[in-house]
Amino acid sequence: MKAFESAKLGGIALKNRLAMAPMTTYSGNEDLTPSKEELDYYERRSKDVGMVITAAISVNRHAQAFPRQITLKDDTFVEPVSELVRTIKRHGAKAIAQLHHGGRMNDPSLYENKDDIVSASAVKAPRKGAPTPRAMDVSEIEATIEDFKAATLRAIRAGFDGVELHGANTYLLQQFFSPHSNIRSDAYGGTLKNRLRFIGAIIDGVSETIENHSERPFILGYRFSPEEIEEDGITMQHTKELMKFMKETPVHYVHASLQHYNQSSIRDERNKTPLVVELREALDGKKPLMASGNIRTREDLRHAEKVGYDFFAVGLALLVDSNWADKVEKGVTPNTTFEKDTLPAPLYERMKKNRKRFEEKGYSF
């Protein structure tokens, strides 16, 4: 099966085409460095995949969205984060840092001064308790681009094999791309071209940082969510333009963040064409496409291969069963009961608190 075959990405050899999907653990130390529990969690799940995309890592002091989220916001974090990198790479997986800014989705309890929660525009997320963010001015936008570059340099120094820019799941990069959350009237808002400007500048800046500072091949990926449910949110039409844009950038792969890897539109329910068909068409074979969303069995993997994905990110299934990849490769059925003993306590407790959501998917505690 293609998923278990070795591959090359951005000049780096991978033992297979599986990735551990990025998953926040809420389990860093209080000083936002990786905790021992977290390292154990990663070590167990890194053994059999080609690459591990870390939990979202905040890039500056405005970027933290979750409690105990790890960070690369300044140089002091390079050394502690390098331990996470060594752990992931111990059994041959490549380590990819997911670089993140939460924007208006930041947990307001983490910020004493509500002015520190920023976004493209002062538009509140349509959810209970969401803060109204402060619109970033141009100098802050430019400083944030620099922060993504600086975090990339720290990721290089910490020994990572690549970075993935978190442009999905309604966080800051997506907030700039979305006509719902970006109502700016300057060069960073309005037209699609303008709404892509921030993302493009980050990609260019990060790519330049890699070129200037990495002596070895270094992967650059981009994660995106193809649609938003808000009336004036992101449509597949916008996302096809995003894919065409990505084709011309130095990113080595694009990563679709979906509920189900083979889902169709959440905006146009009459259209049953799986989104992957349109994504592939727009990418025209120019960039590899990574799947994510409900890949749980060998059959799912085989199907995801068939519908045209190149790489396969696995989240919950690997979180629940740390030996998922090995079992699936050997045709053994993975466990569906959360392994309490191999999960950091805050992560396990958080999952348990939302147990209904996971039980509906067939997992148990």
> Quick check: 84 and 43 in contact, CB under 8 A?
no
Q: How far is the CB of 23 from ligand FMN (least distance, A)?
A: 4
Q: How far is the CB of 354 from ligand FMN (least distance, A)?
A: 9
Query: Which residue, 139 or 354, is less far from ligand FMN as judged by CB?
Result: 354
Q: Of all helices (H) and strands (E), which one includes residue 52?
A: strand 51-58
Q: How far apart are CA 108 and CA 98, in angstroms?
A: 22
Q: How far is the CB of 365 from ligand FMN (least distance, A)?
A: 14
Query: Which residue, 70 or 158, is less far from ligand FMN as judged by CB?
Result: 70
Q: How far apart are CA 111 and CA 88, in angstroms?
A: 31
- What is the chain's percent helix, strand, coil content, to nearest 5? 40, 15, 45
Select the residue interacting with ligand FMN from 315, 321, 342, 348 (CB under 6 A): 315
Residue 169 contacts ligand FMN per CB under 6 A? yes
Select the residue interacting with ligand FMN from 94, 166, 184, 195 (CB under 6 A): 166
Residue 85 contacts ligand FMN per CB under 6 A? no
Residue 19 contacts ligand FMN per CB under 6 A? no
Query: Which residue, 119 or 294, is less far from ligand FMN as judged by CB?
Result: 294
* Cα atoms in the Cβ-side hemisphere of radius 13 Å centred on 63: 27
Residue 32 contacts ligand FMN per CB under 6 A? no
End-to-end CA distance of the chain: 31
Select the residue interacting with ligand FMN from 10, 162, 179, 293 (CB under 6 A): 293
Window 319 to 358, contacts with ligand FMN (CB under 6 A) = none
Nearest alpha carbon to residue 173 among 56, 68, 87: 56
* Separation in Å, CA 357 to CA 72, 251, 313, 320: 31, 34, 20, 14
Residues at the contact surface with ligand FMN, assessed by CB under 6 A? 21-24, 55-56, 98, 166, 168-169, 223, 257, 292-295, 314-317
